[in-house]
Structure 1
Amino acid sequence: MGKKEKRTPLYSQVRDYVMDQIRQGKWKEGRRMPSETQLSKQFDVSRITVRGALTRLVEEGVIYRVQGRGTFVTTEGLEGEPVRYEKTGNEPQLIAFMIPRVDNRFTTSLLNGIDDELANSNYRMLLLRTHDSQKKEEELLHEAVRSGVKGIIVYPADGQTYNETMLRLAMDHFPIVVIDRYLRGVDTNCVCSDHYAGAYAATEHLLQLSHREIGFVTTVFTGTTSLEERLEGYKQALADYGVAFDRRRVLDSAVPEDIRSFLSEQSDLTALFAANEGVGLASIRAASAIGKSVPEQLSVVFFDDYDHAEDARIPPTCVSQQGEEIGRQSAKRLFALLERPIQDRISIRVPARLIVRRSTATAPNI
């Protein structure tokens, strides 16, 4: 265990190798260095890891790049050398926060939590939005490393896999923390809500109101661990209260027409648990569209709170995630990795809280 923690992360090995070649006089001033491809093969790391190491050396004024010619050891007055600034050692350093979008209370609170934690540090945030596209996510990871960020916090795009760049960065011990979800079988530092316990509490709330015909509505959940865990929490609560799980009670579509059809076909449902705010609000509208009143005929509870929810026509019962705490914990975990990149990867679970309002009531005919 102790020996493992003394290992140098791979991107630092590349940087140290370049510095040693220069100090020993093997690479003279003005010498063109090996290409990123050559260095990645030499160290058996990804090009993005090599690029990150070289970017730091450029920032330090040790090397410089010339478009179309390559990377060179610094020589004063050489044509093409960029202007270098005298550094005091106190300049703020960048970390990247990658997120699908910032459009609801949870994502905004994540941003606030990270920013609050950075406020008293020497780090500043580079915010990058992926629009839930794994292709865009991979492009932005490359952009972040080229920008010289010291670490990355990622709220991954939906999907059954992480992109290859994220995996390589994690394998190379580049400081990276994943929030909200993780990939089964892949060892990463992760900070997320306790999705299972939150879903269990929501379903148990309905069961304690004497509901037994309870549906589950979600977006496509396969491969997205946060949604898979919410389904498992729902199923376990049913089992603990002696209610058999029925796959026909699960709808994995957020399309309004599909929800209306689902509620019409499952006409004996008295309650719904929805996997997120968007699906939950769509379910309330769908119930109204087919003439089912909430909560008199159909109780609805969903994951994620939203601004001014208590002022809604039907104030919703929901599971509220502690976004700011998740943001703070992810930043703290990243700080620990920046101090010591080689250490055991851990998963941090932040409790979610059930907020009971007026979209749930005792089951009809009870």
Structure 2
Amino acid sequence: MDKKEKRTPLYSQVRDYVRDQIQQGKWKEGHRLPSETQLSRQFDVSRITIRSALTQLVDEGIIYRIQGRGSFVTMNEQSGEPVRYQKAEEELQLIAFMIPRVEGRFTTSLLTGVDNELAHSKYRIMLLRTNDSQEAEEQLLHEAVRSGVKGIIVYPADGQTYNETMLRLSMDRFPIIVIDRYLRGVDTNCVCSDHFAGAYAATEHLLKLSHREIAFISTSFTGTTSLEERLEGYKQALADHGVAFDRRRVLDCAEPEAIRRFLSEQSGLTALFAANDGVGLASIRAAEAIGKSVPEQLSVVFFDDYDHAEDAKIPPTCVAQQGVEIGRQSAQRLLSLLERPNQERIRIRVPAQLIVRRSTAPPG
């Protein structure tokens, strides 16, 4: 075991320091602890880390908190002051699960996977929705820590490239898992689909059908690593099959009018790969609006499946993510970190599956 493995998490150092001061009699019953700001300066850590340590001591019944006054050493029963917030050892504890929204097959399956894995543990989900807002995400991270959650699983907001709070939590070895995509510059544990391989398989499917003029359509992918990897998978498949990448075949705007205009201008286009189901379905509608039939004149394949897709007027060929498995593995990894916080951070990629239906065919 190397020195990195032996390092004690920062919040544990703070917790142990406070506990030692009390056990050694330096801080007596009713003694008010130093403020969060003072402890933060003393240990050179964030206030989030201090709150996490103090919350654990509250859970153990060693200290109690009074809103607006601070934290105090718990009084014993003989002194006439009951122990506050003391919890039984087996009492259920909370894990924050932050997600942009709870709708559609993928996000609901993520929730199912996490919940199934935690069902037989002492942890339960506190669900927090960010509505794809980076500001809401930042605020909810702070609220989750203040509420005393033991760990966090977060599905980052679109376009998120960096998050100071996540970075501090990760540096302090607070148990946190990022799902669906990773954030550059923030070294955290991550569980996500193999976006590159899934996009490669989708593009290769079109190439094997003899398509050569293949577009890539997405929402803005700058800063969202999952979308960037899907673009790279598309480009690599083209290269491996001897087809030159043409930047003019890429559209990073999913507005219906922009897609219609793009398809009208790309007269030689015979197929497209869309980065998600929303863009894929919008592309099918745009093609129909300009008189291009799918798949006879335009083959369409996209990332993500959706409920009852096989019953659609044109059942779509798509790349299905294993949401339940991603949720299960993220919860499993978090439970492991709760037992041993100093483990090496890892990135777990879960395979995606190409499902061939009727929206793709050889060129007409």
Q: TM-score, normalised by structure 2?
A: 0.97
Residue identity over aligned pairs, in percent, reads 82
Query: In structure 2, how many angstroms separate the alpha carbons of the residues matched to 1:184 and 1:78?
Result: 54
Aligned partner of 2:109 in structure 1 is 109
Query: In structure 1, how many angstroms separate the alpha carbons of the residues matched to 2:77 and 2:38?
Result: 28
Task: Give 1:5-44 correspondences, 5 Å limit.
Answer: 5-44=5-44
State yes or no: 1:255 paired with 2:258: no
Question: What do the CA deviations read for 1:208-249 (whole angstroms, capped 9, x no partner)?
Answer: 111110000001101111000000000000011111101110
Report the Cα offset of residue 82 of structure 1: 7.8
Residue identity in the other structure for 2:331: A
Query: In structure 2, how many angstroms separate the alpha carbons of the residues matched to 1:144 and 1:26?
Result: 31
Task: Give 1:234-313 correspondences, 5 Å limit.
Answer: 234-313=234-313
Query: In structure 2, how many angstroms separate the alpha carbons of the residues matched to 1:299 and 1:105?
Result: 23
Report the Cα offset of residue 184 of structure 1: 2.6
Query: In structure 2, how many angstroms separate the alpha carbons of the residues matched to 1:346 and 1:86?
Result: 35
Aligned partner of 2:94 in structure 1 is 94
Aligned partner of 1:208 in structure 2 is 208
Aligned partner of 1:171 in structure 2 is 171
Q: 1:78 to 1:256 in 2, by over 3 A?
A: farther
Report the Cα offset of residue 342 of structure 1: 0.5
Aligned partner of 1:151 in structure 2 is 151
Aligned partner of 1:69 in structure 2 is 69
C-alpha RMSD of the superposition: 1.7
State yes or no: 1:120 paired with 2:120: yes
Does the Cα contact within 8 Å between 2:59 and 2:85 map onto a contact in 1? no
Query: In structure 2, how many angstroms separate the alpha carbons of the residues matched to 1:355 and 1:252?
Result: 24
Aligned partner of 1:329 in structure 2 is 329
Report the Cα offset of residue 182 of structure 1: 0.5
Aligned partner of 2:140 in structure 1 is 140
Task: Give 1:217-236 correspondences, 5 Å limit.
Answer: 217-236=217-236
Query: In structure 1, how many angstroms separate the alpha carbons of the residues matched to 2:83 and 2:137?
Result: 31
Does the Cα contact within 8 Å between 1:156 and 1:162 map onto a contact in 2? no
Q: Which runs of 5+ in 2 are unaligned?
A: none
Question: What do the CA deviations read for 1:263-292 (whole angstroms, capped 9, x no partner)?
Answer: 111121110100001000000011111111
Equivalent residues, number: 364
Does the Cα contact within 8 Å between 2:14 and 2:43 map onto a contact in 1? yes
Q: Secondary structure at the match of 1:253?
A: coil
Does the Cα contact within 8 Å between 1:30 and 1:78 map onto a contact in 2? no
Query: In structure 1, how many angstroms separate the alpha carbons of the residues matched to 2:82 and 2:109?
Result: 39
Mean Cα deviation higher: 340-349 or 56-65: 56-65
Question: What do the CA deviations read for 1:181-220 (whole angstroms, capped 9, x no partner)?
Answer: 0123432111100000000000000001111100000011
Report the Cα offset of residue 142 of structure 1: 1.1
Residue identity in the other structure for 2:61: G
Aligned partner of 1:315 in structure 2 is 315
Does the Cα contact within 8 Å between 2:61 and 2:83 map onto a contact in 1? no
Residue identity in the other structure for 1:120: H
Does the Cα contact within 8 Å between 2:58 and 2:85 map onto a contact in 1? no
Report the Cα offset of residue 85 of structure 1: 5.7
Question: What do the CA deviations read for 1:39-59 (whole angstroms, capped 9, x no partner)?
Answer: 111111111111111112122
Query: In structure 2, how many angstroms separate the alpha carbons of the residues matched to 1:344 and 1:312?
Result: 45
Q: Which runs of 5+ in 1 are unaligned?
A: none
Q: TM-score, normalised by structure 1?
A: 0.96
Q: 1:22 to 1:219 in 2, by over 3 A?
A: same
Residue identity in the other structure for 1:56: Q
Query: In structure 1, how many angstroms separate the alpha carbons of the residues matched to 2:82 and 2:283?
Result: 58
Does the Cα contact within 8 Å between 1:272 and 1:301 map onto a contact in 2? yes
Q: Secondary structure at the match of 2:26?
A: coil
Residue identity in the other structure for 2:301: V
State yes or no: 1:189 paired with 2:189: yes
Query: In structure 2, how many angstroms separate the alpha carbons of the residues matched to 1:134 and 1:273?
Result: 28
